[in-house]
Amino acid sequence: MIVTGPDLDAPGPTIAFANRAMTALTGYLASELVGQSSGLLLGPGSDRAEARRRKRRLLRDGTYTGQALNYRKDGTSYVADWTITAIPARDGGVRGWLAIQHDETEQRARVEALAGVEARHHAFFEGIPHLVWQSHDGGDWCASSPQWKVFTGQSETASHGAGWREMIDPRDLATTDEAWRLATETGVLAIEHRIRRHDGAYRWFQTRALPVPANAPRGRDRIWIGTSTDVDDLRGAEDRIRHLAFHDVLTDLGNRSLLQDVLSRMTREGPDLLSFNLLFLDVDDFKLVNDQLGHRGGDEVLRGISRRLLGRLRDRDVVVRVGGDEFVLVQANARPEDGWRLAERIRRRMGEPFAIDGKELRVSACIGMASFPNDGLSADQLLRRADLALYSAKTEGGGHVRHFEPPMEFARQERLAMQTGLTRAVERNELTVVYQAVCEPCTGMVHAYEALARWIHPEHGAISPAAFIPVAEESGLIGPIGHWILERACRDATGRAFGSRTVAVNLSPAQFRSGRLLQTVLDALDRTGLAPERLELEVTERLLMDSDEGVDRTLRDIKAAGVRIALDDFGTGYSNLGYLCRFPFDRLKIDQSFVRRMDEDDGARNVVAGIIALAHSLRLRVTAEGVETEEQLAMLRTMGCDQVQGFLLGRPVPASDPGMTR
């Protein structure tokens, strides 16, 4: 505030008084203002025409209000609101002028800032990719964003009040109303529900809201700010991930996780409420399917098997794929005899041909079964016992069905005990090698010896290879055992007892799968000094059935190193004449099951004679195993068999036995 003199004709009224606020605003001392013209505050560039108009208004009205650009002592400017009023004198004239000034610069900045905030808020409200809304405690909306109108096709006005409820999926409306009721009590709303799109389709949204301020008391005047975010694609992805977590990608059947979930739930219901059967199915010789059709064709067969299994099930039954060619079926609310009938239907259905890429293919499967509660009360127990039944079925051949029996578990325990004992036997050098002569049938001259493994148990004595070799193959011990037998046989063959005879060593398919068989053979020959042509490796037809390019290459590389190769157990049910042309065999061995029946079985006799003739036509030497009688030996001589082997000609003996030198 300043007070000036009465003379308006001067360049500016003379300042007679300036209060403290005026000095703070302008930066001048009161002594620097008093006696100076008020034009001091206008600055050199002030509008003189505006000053004359202000003067005329003051003279006419005795008062003036308006804005002017003023300057401080330091030269900075500010916008001031002026209110000038005449101070009357006793004679009716004008004693002076009272001028009151307000700095509007800060207020204008606040107004401009507020306008900017409102503009940004408006842009945010319209640009955010969510449906934004405001509501009262009662649930009636008082505002909604433009996105609501775009998504729902409902006008903002129509969405106010209860109009928004029309857009909620009727299936979710009760849940939404209850969530809102609870939110007014707890102060927070969080719910997922479906909102109708303008075209009538529903999409999932996640709706969240808080009262403003957050700690506002409950009441009609409380305002809620909420957002609804489209999560339909996310929920779809989550559903797909959840589906993949419990389903097989190839067949879309359930997987092992789903099986565990189903079995855990069903066993929790207890034996008083239900009984069910668990069927464990394994396709026989599925590798042959892949070899014949390729993996794409094999996958199509697996999908076909899945469809056939699904066609055998009722509503509550479940079928899952737990492995490459392994399936498990859960037959709900069923007795053991129902499981037998289902297994028989599946067995017959599996036997029907598949048509894949113009080829007709038949497969079979073995099935092991366990029943709840008779065979187990937990999911793990039932699965283990169904697996034991499956193992028993597979030992009987393809297409068999077995139900769990307690002796199967005992047999499994025996296998585990034998595996443990076999591991110790390798560590304690309890294994040894014996040799059985391979003779010329007419003269009895020994041409070769076959190396045979023996296990001399410290408590149980000699254990048959037929008992421990399968266990070694299942457990993976056949690798180190086979390696040891090979090197031991090569070393013994360099001794005086062997002379220049050949030593034959059996190979397991597992040794081929290691990928190091060729190097193992070469290392054994190198360490023992045995000539390669004095070593013969015997392989089975089963290996050739399961073979791939790696097996073929390994056999040819071994042959190229000078080692002989024999096909063992020929004629045991997997014969394929293509093998005889495909692989570089030196000798063919007729399985002993045919030789032992020649005395009394014309069919077996004819098979042996046919094999000998076939081998000779292919320029292969033939050895007949299992010769135990003079009659068998005489027949083999007549048939022209090249070599014979069996108890009649000599039992297996250690390399140190004197009989080795005959």
Query: How many Å separate Cα 346 from the centre of its chain?
Result: 30
Residue 306 has which token pair? 């899945």
SS3 228: strand
CA pair distance 18, 38, nearest whole angstrom:
11
Instruction: Tell which of 207, 236, 265 closes a domain.
Output: 236
Residue 269 has which token pair? 């219901």
pLDDT of 74 reads: 87
| Residue 476 CB burial class (10 angstroms; 0-12, 13-18, ≥19) | exposed
Residues 577, 436 share a domain: yes
Residue 171 has which token pair? 């299936």
CA pair distance 619, 72, nearest whole angstrom:
122
Residues 599, 467 share a domain: yes
Q: Whose structure tokens read 């016992």?
A: 385
On the question of pLDDT at 129 being above 70, the answer is no
Instruction: Tell which of 50, 73, 108 closes a domain.
Output: 108
Q: Is the dihedral of CA 575, 577, 579, 583 positive or negative?
A: positive
Instruction: Tell which of 187, 207, 236 closes a domain.
Output: 236
Q: Whose structure tokens read 């190091």?
A: 516
Q: Is the dihedral of CA 53, 54, 55, 57 positive or negative?
A: positive
Going by C-alpha positions, the residue among 376, 407, 406, 347 that lies closest to residue 277 is 376
CA pair distance 523, 517, nearest whole angstrom:
10
SS3 547: coil
Residues 350, 208 share a domain: no
Residues 254 and 329: beta-carbon distance below 8 Å? no
DSSP letter (8 states) at residue 660: G
Residues 284, 158 share a domain: no
Residues 628, 483 share a domain: yes
CA pair distance 60, 52, nearest whole angstrom:
12
Between residues 241 and 179, which one has the greater pLDDT? 179
Helices (DSSP H) in 476-574: which residue ranges?
478-493, 509-513, 517-528, 541-545, 549-560
Among 43-57, 245-259, 419-433, 643-657, name the most confident range. 643-657
CA pair distance 111, 246, nearest whole angstrom:
61
CA pair distance 477, 427, nearest whole angstrom:
11
Residue 417 resides in a domain: no
Q: Total domain count for the chain?
A: 4
Entry pTM: 0.52
Residues 59, 23 share a domain: yes
Helix 630-639 vs helix 602-617: angle between axes, to the nearest 10 degrees?
40
Residue 547 resides in a domain: yes
Residues 614, 547 share a domain: yes
Segment 630-634 mean pLDDT: 92
Residue 115 resides in a domain: no
Residue 552 resides in a domain: yes
SS3 255: coil
Residues 224, 181 share a domain: yes
Segment 534-545 mean pLDDT: 82
pLDDT of 575 reads: 47
CA pair distance 216, 374, nearest whole angstrom:
63
pLDDT band, residue 469 (cuts 50/70/90): confident
CA pair distance 478, 492, nearest whole angstrom:
20
CATH number for the domain spanning 622: value is: 3.20.20.450
CATH number for the domain spanning 7: value is: 3.30.450.20
pLDDT of 460 reads: 75
CA pair distance 631, 596, nearest whole angstrom:
10
Between residues 235 and 193, which one has the greater pLDDT? 193
Residues 630, 577 share a domain: yes
Domain that holds residue 464: 426-661
pLDDT 10s digits, 59-115: 777 777 777 788 888 888 877 777 887 777 767 677 777 777 776 665 555 555 555
On the question of pLDDT at 50 being above 50, the answer is yes
Cα distance from N-terminal residue to C-terminal residue, the chain: 140
Q: What percent of the chain has pLDDT over 70?
A: 86
pLDDT 10s digits, 563-588: 999 988 887 654 456 667 777 789 99
Query: 54 φ, ψ to 5°?
Result: -65, -40
Q: Whose structure tokens read 């004449």?
A: 577
pLDDT 10s digits, 285-322: 787 777 677 778 888 888 888 888 888 778 788 899 98
| Preceding peptide of 584 cis, ω within 30° | no
Residue 84 resides in a domain: yes
Average pLDDT along the chain: 82
DSSP letter (8 states) at residue 317: -
On the question of pLDDT at 352 being above 70, the answer is yes
Residue 113 resides in a domain: no
Between residues 352 and 513, which one has the greater pLDDT? 352
Residues 553, 648 share a domain: yes
pLDDT 10s digits, 594-625: 898 898 888 889 989 998 998 898 888 999 99
- Write the CB contacts of 141 (distance below 8 Å, at least 6 apart in sequence): 133, 134, 135, 159, 160, 161, 163, 164
Between residues 396 and 546, which one has the greater pLDDT? 396
| Preceding peptide of 373 cis, ω within 30° | yes
Residue 216, amino acid: A
Q: Whose structure tokens read 């092991």?
A: 368
How many Cα atoms within 13 Å fall on the side-chain side of residue 376? 24
pLDDT of 545 reads: 63
SS3 135: strand
CA pair distance 553, 531, nearest whole angstrom:
22
Residues 56, 15 share a domain: yes
Residues 623, 587 share a domain: yes
Residue 458 resides in a domain: yes
Residue 362 resides in a domain: yes
